[in-house]
A and B are shown apart, each in its own frame.
Chain A
């Protein structure tokens, strides 16, 4: 695991999300109304919709394409739908955010 700084918490709107590009694909970084930060793959398990573009509510996001609701904590689909995306470890040190990527996978790119 390598930690990569990605910016400050203020870079993400409250109840909003930003996207981070990595060799492993796009990662969505979300900021909840309670100021918590989560990172999951920016790729809905249903049809690959960009989750960062959805509406963030509680600790979940609703995919903009077909309204699947994905938990930001677990990456799992909530409600009656089934599926999951990968969660990415994210660190918030005094507002400075970093995410952890697996170095092996990157070397393989």
Chain B
């Protein structure tokens, strides 16, 4: 007996389901389809090639009109179902057609998500979902004007590429820091951004749309940061939502999607759901492979075979933009019991990353060269143990075969129980086995894990020999000390390459310089952040999460997790109003300790993190700004009272100190930078043990540098004598900039000076006026972006989340 099967929706999933159904149970059903779109079933995935002009609509039709006639299907084009009557088993369309059913399939798909911003309803704002949207875009593209795509995911990038190839000037706005962050790790996201930008598409990440502006029609977008980007077309491609309204009204179980069991049946025994609107096993899907799997399962149940079940499997993601090769599969987050194999070839723009767990592939990201995607997918699916081909796995299928070298073969004659480190009682076997089993590659690692040569150090040579024997050619004790375990490059190489290659973000550095980890570590990230801030002051966006806590919260963390607050006192000079404000803060916040610092200012200790913004607000009202006592940057300029008061003073040392501090505050330096100005050679400001110091004399200003009074104690070196305050300032600033540009992160000025030579510094700063002027100008330029008081920024709400707990839970219960 023929049953009546009604299908709501005519997309790819129900189309595929019908193909299966007609094959398995021909003639079992009389089929009626309601399609809200006024057309037949076409390949929605191929809309991007239609947009870019690589294909026509006719080429992407899956089922032409003839197919519907052949199978006796009644297709209502342009009919949207507005009601399901489950009691009577009927559906009714917006054109008033009512059909009864024995079995009903809901395949309403999804609707694009519209971000709820002002202006979203303006003319010229469209989504990217169906052929109508493509036609609207093609029409708009004839203008060859500016377009904005909101959303840097799969769909958004395809839309952007399509519009660009149609001649539009396209900007992609993406709210996350890297493109396609759900499918790609940041390294691949960076490469993708580069490739997209090479096509003339502008990409703005971390872009929060505040409003779409325009009078009647779109004129542009305003971002959170106040930027306005003009455009006549805005395409929203930020994601999709399962279209579940109809099912919900009919009283079916609905969660994110229409809830179905693994046989695709809804909570009503006569109704099935599949496609993007269905939620199975708590998941909703948007890629075609699982949707086709749903179609297979649903068809088999409709045909009376109830054994088929839907099983989740990861689907590889590929981007359909000609010339961009990209493949992403599975879980590629890194973790403890997971290992990763990373291959980077910067010159070829290739990045490959395999994530392994228990010697099996669980995730893959390929960029630039994706030919082995299928092979990796297969290995993952079959859960193949890859330990045999581990060394060559990343090179792909073509490189398998051949036996790995035995690294232990060369270990020399000493017996394993021979003691190497007397201080810590470490024998040879322990060292070699730790090197191998823990993958140690540097002397520091071996010291950390075995303690060998970690005390007196006299056995360092022996330990290094063992490392050479164990690691072979790959260990070279004379080699440059790498920045950290994430790279083989030293600080100097990294700095040089950042400039030479024009690298302007941390992901860019990590990709181009072939970093071995996906997101760095606590050693390299702050260093890279400094190098980028220093080299590209106007272009680089400071990476807050790569800063040490003190520079992130603008106070100094103490052993108990509280903070200390040091307001700036220019040149160490203060007055009654400032002192009263400090006293009031001490009372109001019950500050446990007030201490005068070595840099001539006042430290408030024991402040709770939550109180910091309120403390700063009160200090700010009295005119205080951050003393940056926490910064790898300019700290203090200590002064004596100079010629205004002192009977020996030769110059206005206080005034010069204040002038220098006001000129240089806010600047970031490789390590902390402390200055002092003394009014005469009696040197009450102790300028001769500072990073940079000035000794005033009758004939002018003697500039000193490279002193130390911390771990090391060292008197300063003389840079030279200049006649005027202006000259003194120019020389000090130029010297600071030279240090900023050349030193390694955390290297104080005396260590840098020793490394590159005092004569070289004197020559460049004292002897070469052009060079000095150029350094000076670069410092002045970077100050334009650096001199922002971080305290007042935070008082007015910046990084608010940093100072408040996320939540406070469980306390009510405890009170009971």
Q: Which residues does A use to contact B, with CB under 8 Å? A: 2, 4-7, 11-16, 18-24, 26, 29, 32-36, 47-50, 53-59, 62, 64-65, 67, 69, 71, 73-74, 76, 78-80, 94, 99, 101, 103, 106-107, 109
- Nearest Cβ in chain B — how far from A74, in angstroms? 6
In the assembled complex, the Cα of A22 lies from the Cα of B333 at a distance in Å of 29
In the assembled complex, the Cα of A17 lies from the Cα of B522 at a distance in Å of 15
Contact A7 B548 (CB under 8 A): no
- Nearest Cβ in chain B — how far from A31, in angstroms? 10
- Nearest Cβ in chain B — how far from A6, in angstroms? 4
Contact B522 A54 (CB under 8 A): yes
Contact A29 B809 (CB under 8 A): no
In the assembled complex, the Cα of A101 lies from the Cα of B809 at a distance in Å of 9
In the assembled complex, the Cα of A24 lies from the Cα of B811 at a distance in Å of 9
Contact A32 B813 (CB under 8 A): no
* B186 contact set on A, CB distance < 8 A: 33
Contact B810 A24 (CB under 8 A): yes
For the complex, is B517 an interface residue (Cβ under 8 Å from A)? Answer: yes
* B813 contact set on A, CB distance < 8 A: 2, 23, 103, 106-107
Question: Known contacts A29-B806, A47-B559; can you find 8 more A-B pairs with CB under 8 A?
Answer: A19-B805, A23-B814, A33-B518, A54-B522, A58-B521, A59-B336, A67-B522, A71-B336
Contact B546 A55 (CB under 8 A): yes
A sample of 19 inter-chain contacts (CB < 8 A) reads A6-B807, A6-B809, A12-B801, A12-B806, A13-B801, A14-B545, A15-B545, A20-B806, A20-B809, A21-B805, A21-B809, A29-B806, A49-B561, A53-B553, A55-B545, A57-B520, A58-B519, A64-B550, A80-B448
* A50 contact set on B, CB distance < 8 A: 557, 561
In the assembled complex, the Cα of A61 lies from the Cα of B168 at a distance in Å of 44
Contact A64 B549 (CB under 8 A): yes
In the assembled complex, the Cα of A19 lies from the Cα of B808 at a distance in Å of 9
In the assembled complex, the Cα of A58 lies from the Cα of B522 at a distance in Å of 10
- Nearest Cβ in chain A — how far from B572, in angstroms? 29
Q: Contact partner of B522 among A34, A57, A59, CB < 8 A?
A: A57
Contact B548 A55 (CB under 8 A): yes
For the complex, is B544 an interface residue (Cβ under 8 Å from A)? Answer: yes
- Nearest Cβ in chain A — how far from B431, in angstroms? 14
In the assembled complex, the Cα of A46 lies from the Cα of B482 at a distance in Å of 27
Contact A58 B809 (CB under 8 A): no
Residue of B whose beta carbon sits closest to that of A57: B521
Q: Contact partner of B545 among A13, A58, A78, A109, CB < 8 A?
A: A13
Contact B805 A55 (CB under 8 A): no
- Chain B 358-389, CB-CB to A under 8 Å as 1, else 0, gives 00000000000000000000000000000000
Q: Which of B328-373 contact A (CB under 8 A)?
A: 332-337
Q: In the complex where A20-B809, A54-B549 touch, is A74 in contact with B336 (Cβ < 8 A)?
A: yes
Contact B336 A53 (CB under 8 A): no
- Nearest Cβ in chain A — how far from B336, in angstroms? 5
Contact B809 A99 (CB under 8 A): yes
Contact A107 B807 (CB under 8 A): no
For the complex, is B177 an interface residue (Cβ under 8 Å from A)? Answer: yes
* A35 contact set on B, CB distance < 8 A: 181-182
- Nearest Cβ in chain A — how far from B269, in angstroms? 28
- Nearest Cβ in chain B — how far from A57, in angstroms? 5
Contact B814 A33 (CB under 8 A): no
In the assembled complex, the Cα of A31 lies from the Cα of B57 at a distance in Å of 43
Residue of A whose beta carbon sits closest to that of B178: A33
- Nearest Cβ in chain B — how far from A53, in angstroms? 4
- Nearest Cβ in chain A — how far from B145, in angstroms? 33
* A13 contact set on B, CB distance < 8 A: 544-545, 801
- Nearest Cβ in chain B — how far from A33, in angstroms? 5
Q: Contact partner of B557 among A32, A33, A64, CB < 8 A?
A: A64
For the complex, is B798 an interface residue (Cβ under 8 Å from A)? Answer: no
In the assembled complex, the Cα of A62 lies from the Cα of B205 at a distance in Å of 27
Q: Of B518, B559, B808, which is in contact with the most chain A CB atoms at under 10 Å from its CB?
A: B808
In the assembled complex, the Cα of A57 lies from the Cα of B516 at a distance in Å of 13
Residue of A whose beta carbon sits closest to that of B485: A79
For the complex, is B514 an interface residue (Cβ under 8 Å from A)? Answer: no
Residue of A whose beta carbon sits closest to that of B813: A106
- Nearest Cβ in chain B — how far from A65, in angstroms? 7
Contact B807 A21 (CB under 8 A): yes
* A62 contact set on B, CB distance < 8 A: 521-522
Residue of A whose beta carbon sits closest to that of B563: A53
- Nearest Cβ in chain A — how far from B565, in angstroms? 16
- Nearest Cβ in chain A — how far from B632, in angstroms? 14
Residue of B whose beta carbon sits closest to that of A32: B333
- Nearest Cβ in chain A — how far from B733, in angstroms? 31
In the assembled complex, the Cα of A100 lies from the Cα of B683 at a distance in Å of 62
* B547 contact set on A, CB distance < 8 A: 55
Q: Which of B237-261 contact A (CB under 8 A)?
A: 256
* A21 contact set on B, CB distance < 8 A: 805, 807-809, 811
* A94 contact set on B, CB distance < 8 A: 256
Q: Which of B79-133 contact A (CB under 8 A)?
A: none
Contact A18 B519 (CB under 8 A): no
In the assembled complex, the Cα of A71 lies from the Cα of B317 at a distance in Å of 29
Q: Closest 7 A-B residue pairs measured CB to CB? A: A62-B522, A18-B806, A34-B333, A80-B448, A4-B809, A6-B807, A53-B549
- Nearest Cβ in chain A — how far from B800, in angstroms? 10
Q: In the complex where A58-B518, A58-B519, A106-B814 touch, is A18 in contact with B801 (Cβ < 8 A)?
A: yes
Q: In the complex where A34-B334, A49-B561, A94-B256 touch, is A58 in contact with B517 (Cβ < 8 A)?
A: yes
* A76 contact set on B, CB distance < 8 A: 336
In the assembled complex, the Cα of A18 lies from the Cα of B610 at a distance in Å of 12
* A7 contact set on B, CB distance < 8 A: 806-807
Residue of A whose beta carbon sits closest to that of B333: A34
* A49 contact set on B, CB distance < 8 A: 561
* B554 contact set on A, CB distance < 8 A: none
Q: Contact partner of A55 among B334, B448, B526, B808, CB < 8 A?
A: B526
Residue of A whose beta carbon sits closest to that of B546: A55
In the assembled complex, the Cα of A102 lies from the Cα of B801 at a distance in Å of 27
- Nearest Cβ in chain A — how far from B802, in angstroms? 8
Q: Contact partner of B519 among A15, A64, A65, A109, CB < 8 A?
A: A15
In the assembled complex, the Cα of A106 lies from the Cα of B813 at a distance in Å of 7
- Nearest Cβ in chain A — how far from B813, in angstroms? 5
For the complex, is B449 an interface residue (Cβ under 8 Å from A)? Answer: yes
Contact A55 B518 (CB under 8 A): no
In the assembled complex, the Cα of A95 lies from the Cα of B520 at a distance in Å of 26
Contact B335 A59 (CB under 8 A): yes
Residue of A whose beta carbon sits closest to that of B335: A59
Contact A6 B545 (CB under 8 A): no
In the assembled complex, the Cα of A105 lies from the Cα of B470 at a distance in Å of 51
Contact A20 B549 (CB under 8 A): no
Residue of A whose beta carbon sits closest to that of B282: A93
- Chain B 533-557, CB-CB to A under 8 Å as 1, else 0, gives 0000000000011111110110001
- Nearest Cβ in chain B — how far from A37, in angstroms? 11
For the complex, is B652 an interface residue (Cβ under 8 Å from A)? Answer: no
